[in-house]
Structure formats: C-alpha cells, structure tokens
C-alpha cells in the first residue's frame, strides 16, 4: 500500500494484521493511558488512529464532556474503528473518526489550535517525514496544549536465549523500514522532533513490556512477533533481504518452539515523549 505522503506501509491492513494490532492494543493500552493522563473534558486528536481501540479508551477517560478526533489514512481501518465505536457505549459526540493523511489532518475551521492533547502512537515509524506530522500536531494543539508521541525503536527488542536465525531476519526487517524511507529507530528521536516542531519537550520515558515462559502473555507475544515478520515476508523476499525458506522456518518452527521453552524471555519498550505548545 502506498501512503499519500510517500513510502509503503510495512504492515498492510489484512485481517491477521488487524488481529495483531488488537493484541498489541490489549497489551499496551492501559500502560499508554497511564502515561497519557487524560483529564475529564479533554479534546484529543489521535493521529494514525488505526482500529480505534486507543481512541475509544481515551474517549472513556475524557468522559461525556470530552471529544476525540481520530485521523486514519485507511478507510478499511476507519470502518472497523467506527464499528467498535458503535458498540462501545460512548455517545455520538465523544468520537469522530475521519479518513485523512497525518500530514494534512482533515480538521474543520476552528479545530486547529484547539486541542488539549495531540497524540500519536506507532505512526511516525511509518511516514517518510515524521517532523511534518509533529508540526501539524503542534499547530493543532491549543496554547499550553500537550503533544504526546509514542513510537518504536526497533533496537530495543530482546529475545533470550536468542532463537537461531532471528537476529539476521530482525536486521532485514529494520532495513525494510529504511528502504520504505521510514525510520525504524524513530522512538529515540521523539524529543528532538518535538523541539524541531516548536514544542517545549517536558517528559521522556519508555513504556516497558517483558514476558517469559510461565506467563500468560508470553506465547501470544512471540506469536505476534512471528506474525509481524510473516506479514512483512513478501516484501522482505521481494527486496532480496531474506531467504524465503529460512524465513518460513523461523516463523513456522523456530519462534513457535521458542514460545514453548521453559526458560525463554522477551522484552521490548515503546518510547514515549511529551511536549507543550508555547503559549506565545
Ligand atoms: C501500527 S498502526 C497504529 C494504530 C494506532 N495508533 C495504535 O496505536 O493502535 C499505524 C496506523 O497508521 C496508519 N497510517 C500510516 N500512514 C499514515 C498516514 N500517512 N496518515 C494517516 N494514517 C497513517 C496506518 O494505516 C495504521 O492504521
């Protein structure tokens, strides 16, 4: 899929990708929400809102006086988000999902410069010009409004004992981001992006996640990782970055075996940085 702002979206929007996103949402939403510290009545812009689970969770925190606008490029994702919103029990004014590009969010007159919080998660790693997106977020925030960026730094993933062949494939996966003109390490640039976009950085952290054998989340997390790599396999092969058979073996045999080991562990972390729009 080609993005309007250039590059390719490494994950695609097929069903297995949507199931993967839902799992990641379950794992990460509570922790992200704790960091986001939404207040009653907040008006929030969620850029690259995907399946909308996080937007819905934010809207619950913002309450009936709050409002969330989710902007997402894929109409397929928006349809799923709207379906989830319809059964969420939230009121019709609490969320508005809009199809649009992160670099030109479809805001109505008066909306730009009005948001209490502008948020994005796992989007900046998929755009060729993350600074352009963060600039639009700063524009969209009200004076003293908060801009919260959360994204990946793919060097933070660790598996132990390291499954055979994993490092090579993970490096290839990281290289695919670069070939798509995206930054696989954008997580470490979040504070810098806030500064370059005119916000005052105020906070920087990692949202950590770890699991191990004997933990309920361990197998789903490893399977999710295999799913991420399998989803990218056609592109990785087409780019000549992996050998197809070795890739299938890693995803179909080595990683599932790793998931069953009694001594295995996995860690990853999502970078999260916050800034404030100067009052001027
Ligand atoms: C990995 S998902 C993250 C979704 C959501 N933010 C979350 O944390 O669950 C990235 C989303 O960004 C969307 N996306 C990618 N490039 C975009 C762009 N240029 N403008 C708007 N959305 C974009 C994708 O379609 C996808 O739904």
pLDDT for 222-256, tens place per residue?
A: 988 999 999 999 999 999 999 999 999 999 999 99
**Cβ of residue 32 lying under 6 Å from some atom of ligand 1:** no
The 10s digit of each residue's pLDDT in 128-155 is 999 999 999 999 999 999 999 999 999 9
For 75-124, the pLDDT digits (tens) are 999 999 999 999 999 999 999 999 999 999 999 999 999 999 999 999 99
- Residue 257 within a domain: yes
Tell me what pLDDT residue 216 has. 83
Element (H, E) at 58: helix 53-62
Task: Judge whether 50 lies within some domain.
Answer: yes
- 138, 199 in Cβ contact below 8 A? yes
101 lines ligand 1 (CB under 6 A): yes
User: Does 229 fall in a domain?
Assistant: yes
Range of the domain at 65: 15-276
Domain containing residue 104: CATH number? 3.40.50.150
Phi, psi angle pair for 212, to nearest 5°:
-150, 170
Strands 115-121 and 43-47, how do they pair?
A: parallel
In a domain, 3, yes or no: no
Chain segment 156-192, per-residue pLDDT in tens: 999 999 999 999 999 999 999 999 999 999 999 999 9
**pLDDT for residue 271 is more than 70:** yes
Phi, psi of 21 (to 5 degrees): -60, -40
Cβ atoms within 10 Å of 234's Cβ, excluding its own:
12
Whole-prediction pTM: 0.91
Is there a domain that residue 100 lies in? yes
Task: Answer yes or no: is 32 within a domain.
Answer: yes
CB atoms within 10 A of CB 53: 20
Any ligand 1 atom below 6 A from CB of 152: no
In a domain, 114, yes or no: yes
Residue of minimum CA distance from atom 8 in ligand 1 = 121
- Residue 212's closest CA among 256, 149, 163, 265? 265
Task: Give the count of domains, the chain.
Answer: 1
Residue 148 domain-assigned (yes or no): yes
Q: What is the DSSP letter of 52?
A: S
72 CB near ligand 1 (under 6 Å): yes
């Amino acid at each position: 899929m080609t993005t309007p702002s250039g590059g390719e979206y490494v994950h695609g929007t097929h069903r297995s990708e949507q199931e993967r996103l839902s799992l990641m949402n379950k794992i990460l939403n509570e922790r992200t929400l704790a960091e986001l510290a939404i207040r009653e009545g907040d008006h929030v812009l969620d850029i690259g809102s995907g399946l909308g689970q996080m937007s819905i969770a934010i809207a619950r925190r913002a309450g009936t006086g709050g409002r969330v606008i989710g902007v997402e490029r894929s109409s397929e994702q928006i349809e799923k988000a709207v379906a989830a919103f319809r059964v969420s029990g939230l009121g019709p004014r609490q969320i508005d999902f809009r199809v649009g590009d992160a670099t030109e969010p479809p805001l109505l007159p008066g909306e730009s410069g009005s948001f209490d919080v502008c948020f994005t998660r796992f989007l900046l790693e998929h755009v060729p010009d993350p600074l352009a997106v963060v600039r639009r977020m700063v524009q969209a925030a009200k004076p003293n409004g908060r801009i919260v960026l959360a994204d990946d730094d793919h060097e933070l993933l660790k598996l132990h004992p390291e499954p055979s062949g994993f490092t090579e494939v993970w490096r290839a996966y990281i290289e695919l981001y670069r070939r798509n003109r995206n930054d696989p390490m954008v997580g470490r640039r979040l504070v810098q992006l806030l500064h370059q976009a005119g916000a005052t950085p105020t906070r920087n952290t990692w949202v950590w996640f770890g699991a191990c054998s004997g933990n309920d989340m361990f197998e789903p997390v490893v399977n999710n990782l295999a799913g991420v790599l399998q989803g990218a396999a056609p592109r990785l092969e087409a780019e000549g970055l992996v050998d197809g058979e070795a890739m299938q073996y890693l995803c179909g045999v080595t990683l599932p075996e790793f998931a069953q080991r009694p001594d295995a562990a996995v860690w990853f972390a999502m970078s999260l940085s916050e800034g404030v729009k100067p009052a001027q």
